Structure 1
């Protein structure tokens, strides 16, 4: 009886794992499928978890085979786990000692505050003296008032953007003067592009919040395209995009934004020793643990910088990110 049950379980794990792994592999390779339906977008969010169905399939082989073949299957299981799961390991410990930024560098704190519910005290603490600008998504009138009461507008006296009762408000706060030069039209949420100057260096800084998959694949795709069109004229300069892109790096929209190399993710896999490890930013504070990194920092081709630092802010379902970039020249 036990042998029969293990035999059946082996088949279930093997076939189920292979089917799920095949589906994720197809979604990873044929990204245009993501634009067909929101369910496919949601399924593609699990591409970084490809190791799970592969591991289940390998375990199925262990249960199905006998003798030396079982030993071979067990070895395969360990190999699959080692090769496919390493990006899921926690990021290395970071030093809290301050790093000296190069002249003209720009440090930005970005946070989706989830309908203005984020902890203002924590956000204010994160916006230390090293931060030059703050990019806020889902800015509401109440949250704007909370920031004013906390004195953040005194430290960051320049701002552009909007506060809305829904999730659509986006705002940039800066220590140096800001000039709004463009914004997307017809998108679900506000996406803004502004300029500011630090130590004589002109920066183009965008706060991004594109449509989530649940509003439909068409809007999800169109919003990302609108952001790409907004920043396209400035990719040869000092350009930085931060915010909630509602897509992981493997999604079609992110692939399109970075396809020609004019924009690149500062958290891309393989960016230096010990970098590029998987750090999900959503959903935080829910029964389901975070599994998707949808908050990003994209830099233009003339910009360099280390991977972002991700911080947890109570009251919001997104992790905040901190990034410092410098002109490459």
Structure 2
């Protein structure tokens, strides 16, 4: 086999260096999640773990260009194997929007310091929506809702309004009970709506602190919320809200440890990974949404959730419309 030309070698070195420099930290933070806590920037970088395939393939392509003789065939085989492993999950269906089915239907929004318009919240509410969960719920937003058609349509409320991003509330068409409240960085609620078709559901609305305050506090707040939820997790349970973490972040592991799972990935076999993965933040920024930090978590094999994602003017998060019902 002829010796690689200088241009081929230069391109190979460039691709290998750039790809490896981007891929290796992501692989380390994915396989050893506690390494994300070394610095706030590491937490931010871990948001890109879902994209790890891209720099990995770039690095492998660079290796193919640099390898010689038999090693080039080996590198090519590794590249093809990686393409298959990364590409197969992208295959599958992109089903039409089925709407949120289930016994209990919800809308979960982040009001971004309470600045969203009530009419925009109303526009997302559907006839079957039973509860509306609002994080970053402020006294000013509370007053505007009280004077609105939305407030009259959802007259029952639990929660606490606070200035800034700390408040949380749940509005309901029917009476709703507050089971418990956890005051971490923000208000976290555990509520029980009116039974749906004779079935009682427990709903947690959570809002851990963002990593901007530092990785240790971000980690501790999420860990505290998960520990608070642990004794309440039962077959008819769902946790919704702004988790300030992607599925691959270390803090989401605390919720998996108490038996919660993301039904988008565990119970929707046959769908393309692109259909399952729905980035929700940041909306309205100079870059499109690239990370999903707004989640719906349920106990594995006991409750199923069907989710949709919608833009909400005035918020930097996409809203989540969903429904939950007993798993089969």
TM-score when scaled to structure 1? 0.87
The gaps in structure 2 that reach 5 residues or longer are none
**1:237-291 C-alpha deviation (Å, 9 max, x unpaired):** 421110010111111111121125x211122256322165321111112112211
Tell me, in whole angstroms, the C-alpha distance in 1 between the residues paired with 2:105 and 2:96: 17
Q: CA RMSD in A?
A: 2.8
Tell me, in whole angstroms, the C-alpha distance in 1 between the residues paired with 2:47 and 2:74: 32
The gaps in structure 1 that reach 5 residues or longer are none
Name the CA shift for 1:269/1:23 in 2 (closer, same or farther; >3 Å).
farther
Tell me, in whole angstroms, the C-alpha distance in 1 between the residues paired with 2:37 and 2:319: 27
**1:130-183 C-alpha deviation (Å, 9 max, x unpaired):** 111011111122322333344111111111112222111111111121221212
Name the CA shift for 1:90/1:212 in 2 (closer, same or farther; >3 Å).
farther
**1:83-118 C-alpha deviation (Å, 9 max, x unpaired):** 32565689824235x5764xxx11111011211233
Contact 2:101–2:322 under 8 Å retained in 1 = no
Matched, 1:298 2:297: yes
Matched with 1:26 is 28
Matched with 1:192 is 189
Tell me, in whole angstroms, the C-alpha distance in 2 between the residues paired with 1:307 and 1:53: 32
Greater CA drift, 171-180 or 262-271: 262-271
Instruction: Measure how far apart 1:235 and its partner are.
Output: 1.1
Q: Please state whether the residue corresponding to 1:299 is helix, strand or coil.
A: strand
Name the CA shift for 1:328/1:306 in 2 (closer, same or farther; >3 Å).
closer
How many residues matched? 322
Instruction: Measure how far apart 1:17 and its partner are.
Output: 1.2
Tell me, in whole angstroms, the C-alpha distance in 2 between the residues paired with 1:93 and 1:235: 30
Tell me, in whole angstroms, the C-alpha distance in 2 between the residues paired with 1:321 and 1:22: 33
Matched, 1:239 2:237: yes
Q: 1:59 aligns with which of 55, 58, 61?
A: 61
**1:184-214 C-alpha deviation (Å, 9 max, x unpaired):** 23x2211111112223322211111101111
Instruction: Measure how far apart 1:61 and its partner are.
Output: 3.3
Tell me, in whole angstroms, the C-alpha distance in 2 between the residues paired with 1:91 and 1:121: 34
Tell me, in whole angstroms, the C-alpha distance in 1 between the residues paired with 2:88 and 2:145: 40
Matched with 1:163 is 161
Matched, 1:266 2:268: no
